[in-house]
Structure 1
Amino acid sequence: MKFTYCLKRKINWLAWFFVYAGVGLFCVQVHAASNLQGYVMRVQMTPAVCALDSNRQKQRKCLEGYSLTISGLLPETNTNNCSTSSSATLSPLQAKVVARVMPEENARVQLWQNIGGCVPMNASQYFRLVINLAENLKIPSDLSGGESKQVTQTSLRSQFMRLNPSLPANGIRFDCQSLHTKPMLTELQICYSVNGRYKECSKHIVSNCPSSFMIKGSY
C-alpha cells in the first residue's frame, strides 16, 4: 500500500517536474509520518544544567543567563535510525527566533541530523513547530523567577496544569540530578500528539525526581 502510494506520486512528480529526487523525499516523508506516534519536548532548566556540567559553562545559554532552553523536540517512533543528511540551514531571521529557546547553533544542527529522518517536514518547518509549541507552553513563575527554591512535584505539576488547561496530569515528566546531595530539577519532558496537542506520556517516559526537589534560580 505504501509502495503503491509512493509510486503513484512518483508518476505525478515525473509528469510535472521530471525530477526523481523529489519523489524520494516525498516517499521518505510519507514513511516517516506513518511511523510517527507523537513528540516529546525536552525543556532544560538551564541554571541547573550549567552548574552541574563544567563543559557547558562557556556555552551561550550559560554565559547569557538563560533560565530555560529547549534541547529538542524528539519524535516518538519505532524506527531505530532517524538520522538525515538534509540541510539544517535556517534563514537568518528564523535562526534568530529559534536562538531565543535554542541558543547553540551547533546543537541545533546536530539535533536535526539525529532526528530529521523521522519527522515529515524539513528543518525550517521542524524548528517552526518547536517555536510554536514553546510559545504556547505556559511556564510557572517558580521556574523562571531567578530564585532558588524547594518545590514539591505535586505542586509544580498542578501549576503546569492550571496554566495549560489541556495538559493532562501524565503529560509532563520531571528529571532531576543531585547537586551536593540535593536533588535538583534539570529537565521537563512535555508530551504531544502528532498534531501538536498535549497528550499523556508513553510508559517508557518516566520521572526520576523525588516528591520534593530544588529549582536552581540562577547560574
Structure 2
Amino acid sequence: MSKGKYLQYFTTYALMFIVGTFGCYFISSSSQAAKLDISEGYVLNIQMTPAVCAFDQNQRKQRKCLEGYALTIGSLVPENFTRNNEACATDTSAVLSPLQAKVVARVIPDESYRVQLWHAVGGCVPMNAPQYFRTIINYAQNLKIPAVLTDTISHAMSKQSLEEQFLSLNKGLPAKGIQLNCQKDSHNAVLTHISICYKNNGQFKTCPTNITSNCPAQFNIQGTY
C-alpha cells in the first residue's frame, strides 16, 4: 500500500464514521463493562506494521503484512486493561455493516483480528462493536502521524525527535501522552508500537504509570515494503 493511500485512508474514509465521537454519549451494550474501571481513560495502540511483521512470523501471512501497510491499529483499551483479562471477554456480536467493515479494514485489515480484538476487549467498554470500531476510526482520523512513520525507506530516529514531531502535529498532546515501544533485532532497537493516551471525553492526556516506553534514545523505523 502506498504512503499516499494509507494517509488518505486515515483521513477521507474515516470521516464517514465520525458520528458518535469517543467521549460522548456512550450507549452501554454489555453488563460486563462494570468489571473494569474505565473512568480514567483509554489507550490507542498503533502497530508499526512492517516491524511487527518482521518480528512475528505468525503474522506474516496476514493481509496487513502481505499488502505492505505502514501502520495499523492494534487496539483501543481502557488504560488499566491487561492482556488476558477474562473480565473483559465478551461473546457479543462483532458483526459490522458491509460499509463499516470496509472502512475499518483500512486500519485493521484482517477481519479475524478485528473479531478477536472485540471478543477480548468488548466486555470492558460501554459500547457495542459498531460503536467501538467507529471510535477507533474517529481517533485514527484525528491523530496526525509524522511522515517518517509511513515512509517507504527505513530511518534511524531519536526518541526525542519523534516525540517532538507528534507533539508539534497534535495540539494538546502532553509530552507523556505518547509512549514508544521497541524490540531488538540482531543489531538495533526497532520501533514496533506507539501508544496514545486519552481522557474519557476524547482529549489527550498524560499516560498512567502502567503505560511506559521501552525504546532507547536511538532506534530504527522500518520502512514499508
Asked if TM exceeds 0.5, the reply is: yes
Task: Verify the 8 A CA contact 1:33 1:120 in the aligned structure 2.
Answer: no
**Cα drift, residue 29 of structure 1:** 7.1
Runs of 4+ in 1 over 4 A off after TM superposition: 77-80
**Code of the aligned partner of 2:182:** C
Call closer, same or farther: CA 1:58–1:148 in 2, change over 3 Å.
Answer: same
Q: Which structure shows the higher helix fraction?
A: 1
**Code of the aligned partner of 2:185:** L
Q: 1:182 aligns with which of 185, 188, 191?
A: 188
Aligned residues: 195
Q: Partner of 1:106: helix, strand, or coil?
A: helix
Q: Partner of 1:132: helix, strand, or coil?
A: helix
> Take 1:26 and 1:123, find their aligned partners in 2: how far apart are those partners?
9
Q: Which residue of 1 aligns with 2:200?
A: 194
TM-score (norm: length of structure 1): 0.84
Q: 1:51 aligns with which of 50, 54, 58?
A: 54
* CA offset digits 1:87-116 (Å, max 9, x no partner): 110000000000000001111111111111
Call closer, same or farther: CA 1:172–1:27 in 2, change over 3 Å.
Answer: closer
For structure 1, the residue ranges without an aligned partner over 5 or more in a row are 1-24
**Cα drift, residue 53 of structure 1:** 1.4
> Take 2:159 and 2:45, find their aligned partners in 1: how far apart are those partners?
17
Q: Which residue of 2 aligns with 1:156?
A: 162
Q: Aligned ranges for residues 41-190 of structure 1 at < 5 Å?
A: 41-77=44-80, 80=85, 81-190=87-196
TM-score (norm: length of structure 2): 0.82
**Code of the aligned partner of 1:99:** A
**Cα drift, residue 180 of structure 1:** 1.9
Structure showing greater Rg: 1
**Code of the aligned partner of 1:179:** D
RMSD between superposed Cα atoms in Å: 1.9
Q: Partner of 1:37: helix, strand, or coil?
A: coil
**Code of the aligned partner of 1:53:** D
Higher relative contact order (CA 8 A, sep 6+): 2
